[in-house]
Structure formats: structure tokens, C-alpha cells
Amino acid sequence: MILLAIESSCDETSAAVMVNGELKSNIISTQLIHTQWGGVVPELASREHQKAIIPVVEEALQKANISKNQLNAIAFTRGPGLLGALLVGTSFAKSLALSLNIPLVEVNHMQAHVLAHFIDEPKPIFPFLCLTVSGGHTQLVWVKGPTEMEIIGETLDDAVGEAFDKTAKLIGLHYPGGPLIDKLAKEGDPLKFKFPMGEIPGLNYSFSGIKTAILYFLQKEIQKNPNFVEESKADICASVQYTLIEILLKKVKRAMREKNCTQIAIAGGVSANSGLRKRLQDLGEKEKWNVFIPAFSYCTDNAGMIAMAGHFKAIQGEFCGQDVSPLARMEF
Ligand code: KG4
Ligand code: ZN
């Protein structure tokens, strides 16, 4: 099974080639144009995807040493994501599949984040729990099989990645702020400032309350000392990051107990956070869990994970027709 995979759901144009489940190339072109706007501008994202998609696909094929005519199928992200951005990848995948007369495999981006764990060793064994944390989603997923997943908890409002990015914006850091907070937090005191954790019942999350609490806290402190943010940047980052991780892990512990599970994985852009990686690792040691942490290159959006998800479907003959259209919102 020689598969080309395409990802274009947000601000990364990516293409990957997978041969019999083995990833041969994973080219990612990150759109830098959004930095100056403080967030992803959907229309600009679509235009950037259009510019990047052909060179990115060509590079992926070249690096894998595979020609178009050797491809058996094309996998692509159908959703969820920005509709205009998804349209570029979907239309490209459909046209190429049509011209090569090969089948298409539609992939759910959030399932692909989870399945990124099957690209390299060590791989989890089904069933396991996955905490998927990205710019648009925060989900506790009960993973029964490659296409059998159940969301047992999710955010009721903002995603945790948004909480990172919005906090970063408040203290003058550019988009995407998550990695910058992570870096600054390393030099700060995580217990210096206290933020409310909120009390959401069950396994769901909420991050809008903490976002407002951070805003009011900063306004109050700046009133007392106009240089507060500059003088306390590292401590603010460390304390915010600490609280966000605390919120995430509290529900992870609860879900692991409820499911009587001993395998936990993290996925999505925020799983690149060094604080989250370390604290989950420590918690796993204490609780005697098997902890699966993805390589950095598979945390944020990439077509390698789309290829992995596509591979699982393709070997089961789960193809889709040329009438498929992208979905901004897509259920499991
Ligand atoms: O999965 P992803 O690349 O795109 C979506 O599907 O949303 O996730 C992007 C999110 C952004 O909010 C970004 O700030 C966050 O992941 N992120 C991080 C880190 N690296 C990326 N957040 C915290 N710490 C990081 N090191
Ligand atoms: Zn993503």
C-alpha cells in the first residue's frame, strides 16, 4: 500500500508518503503570514495552501523516492478545520486521484492526531486513553481501535491551545503563543501566582473562566505597577502553564480510574509542551501507567499522521468517492 497523504486543515500545508505503514516522508510548510495578525486568518490560510500544495507534494514524493504512478491511494484531511483551507487539500487530493485513477481515503484530523502514535515504536495497545490537546480541541478519547474512538470528555468552550495563545497575546507574545509560553515558563516560578481551576462536573473541561481570570489579574497588577508584565513575564507563563496542566491532568486521572486503564497517550499541538510532557511522565511513574508521548514532529499538524490514519482505513478497503466534500465540523 503506497499512500500519499495531504493535510491542509489550518495553517500547515503538509504532504507525506507511507509505504506499507512505514512513513517515508513528511514535509510540512508552516504559514508564517499569520504571525503579524495575532491568529490564523482563514482567507490567507486558503491562499497560502494553494501556493504551497504542489511544491510540498512534489517534495514529499521526491524524498520518499516514489513517483505518482506508483501510488495506490490518496488520503486527505476531510475535517474538522477551516473550510476554505480544507477545500484546497480536498480538491487537490480528488483531482490527483481522478487523474491517476486511484481511490481516496478521507481522514478525520482529530483521529489522526491520536493515530500518530502508531507511526513509530513504542505503540500503545488498544484500548487506551488519549488526551488530545490542540488549538481547536481538548478531548479525552477512549481509543478502542484505529477507527473506533469515543470522546468521553471535551471542552465546553475554549480549547487549551486557545488558552495558551490568548494568554500569550495578553502579555504581548506573538502567535502561536503556546511554544513561547512553554519557553518562558522554564525560567519562572509555577507557584508564584494562583489562578482558579474551575469546577466542571464529569470528564469535561472549560478554559474560558481561567482566560477571564488571567485578564482581570493582569489588569489589576498593571494598575499597581505598569511594568508588571515585563518584570514578571516568566512567572506569569510558568503559573498559567502550571494551572492549565493541573486542569488537564485532574480529568486524565479521573478518566483512567473510570476506565480502569493503564495506558495513556497525549496528542495534538499542546502535547509538545515540555511541562505537560514532564508532569504526565511523572504522574505515569507514580500511578504505574504506560505513558505514550509523541515525537515533536508528530505533535503539531502534519500529513504523517494523516497517512497513518489513511493506512489503517485503506488496508480495510475503506475508501470514499469523488463526491466527498470537506467538513468544518466533523464527528468521529
Ligand atoms: O494540533 P495543532 O498544530 O493545530 C490544531 O489542530 O489546532 O495545535 C496548535 C496549538 C496552538 O494553540 C499552539 O499554541 C499549541 O498547539 N502549541 C503549544 C506548544 N506547541 C504548540 N502549546 C503549548 N506549548 C507548546 N510547546
Ligand atoms: Zn491539529
Digit-by-digit pLDDT tens for the chain (332 residues) are 999 999 999 999 999 999 999 999 999 999 999 988 888 999 999 999 999 999 999 999 999 999 999 999 999 999 999 999 999 999 999 999 999 999 999 999 999 999 999 999 999 999 999 999 999 999 999 999 999 999 999 999 999 999 999 999 999 999 899 999 999 999 999 999 999 998 899 999 999 999 999 999 999 999 999 999 999 999 999 999 999 999 999 999 999 999 999 999 999 999 999 999 999 999 999 999 999 999 999 999 999 999 999 999 999 999 999 999 999 999 98
**Residue type at position 17:** V
12-19 β-sheet, strand order: 22-30, 12-19, 2-7, 73-79, 104-108
pLDDT at 199: 87
**Distance (Å) from CA 254 to ligand 1 centroid:** 24
Q: What is the pLDDT of residues 107-152, one digit of tens each?
A: 999 999 999 999 999 999 999 999 999 999 999 999 999 999 999 9
* C-alpha cell of residue 203: 470528564
Nearest by Cα to 23 from 293, 310, 266 = 310
User: Hey, whose CA ends up nearest to atom 20 of ligand 1?
Assistant: 179
Contact assessment for residue 315 and residue 72, using Cβ atoms and an 8 Å cutoff: no
First to last CA, the chain: 24
Query: Distance (Å, rounded) from C-alpha 176 to C-alpha 123?
Result: 29
Q: Which atom of ligand 1 is nearest to the CA of 9?
A: 6
**Distance (Å) from CA 111 to ligand 2 centroid:** 10
Q: Is 63 exposed, middle or buried (0-12, 13-18, 19+ CB in 10 A)?
A: middle
Q: Residues 6 or more apart from 298 whose CB is under 8 A from it?
A: 116, 119, 304, 305
How many CA atoms lie less than 13 Å away from 302 in the CB half-sphere? 28
80 lines ligand 1 (CB under 6 A): no
pLDDT at 38: 83
Q: Looking at the CA of 110, name the nearest ligand.
A: 2
pLDDT at 103: 98
Q: What is the pLDDT of residues 286-311, one digit of tens each?
A: 999 999 999 999 999 999 999 999 99
Contact assessment for residue 55 and residue 2, using Cβ atoms and an 8 Å cutoff: no
- E strand residue ranges, 73-231: 73-79, 104-108, 128-133, 138-143, 149-154
User: Hey, whose CA ends up nearest to atom 22 of ligand 1?
Assistant: 178
Q: Which atom of ligand 1 is nearest to the CA of 137?
A: 7
Greatest alpha-carbon span in the chain: 67
User: Hey, whose CA ends up nearest to atom 8 of ligand 1?
Assistant: 269
Nearest by Cα to 267 from 164, 118, 156 = 118
88 lines ligand 1 (CB under 6 A): no
Contact assessment for residue 251 and residue 153, using Cβ atoms and an 8 Å cutoff: yes
pTM of the shown model:
0.95
β-pairing, 128-133 vs 138-143, is: antiparallel
206 lines ligand 1 (CB under 6 A): no
Contact assessment for residue 40 and residue 82, using Cβ atoms and an 8 Å cutoff: yes
Q: Which atom of ligand 1 is nearest to the CA of 168?
A: 14
Q: Which atom of ligand 1 is nearest to the CA of 110?
A: 6
Helix (H/G/I), strand (E/B), else coil: 181: helix
CB atoms within 10 A of CB 186: 12
Nearest by Cα to 178 from 280, 273, 42, 301 = 273
**Distance (Å) from CA 273 to ligand 1 centroid:** 8
Nearest by Cα to 279 from 263, 267, 268, 291 = 291
- How far CA 305 is from CA of 47, 90, 93, in Å, comes to 23, 16, 16
Query: Distance (Å, rounded) from C-alpha 212 to C-alpha 126?
Result: 38
Name the one residue in this structure whose C-alpha cell is 484530523: 109
pLDDT at 35: 86
Give, for ligand 1, the residue of 158, 270, 293, 297 to mutate: max count of ligand atoms closer than 8 Å to Cβ.
Answer: 270
Contact assessment for residue 31 and residue 302, using Cβ atoms and an 8 Å cutoff: no
Name the one residue in this structure whose C-alpha cell is 489550518: 10
Q: Looking at the CA of 294, name the nearest ligand.
A: 1
The residues pairing with 55 across neighbouring beta strands, listed in sequence order, are none
Q: Which atom of ligand 1 is nearest to the CA of 11?
A: 4
**Distance (Å) from CA 109 to ligand 2 centroid:** 6
pLDDT at 36: 85
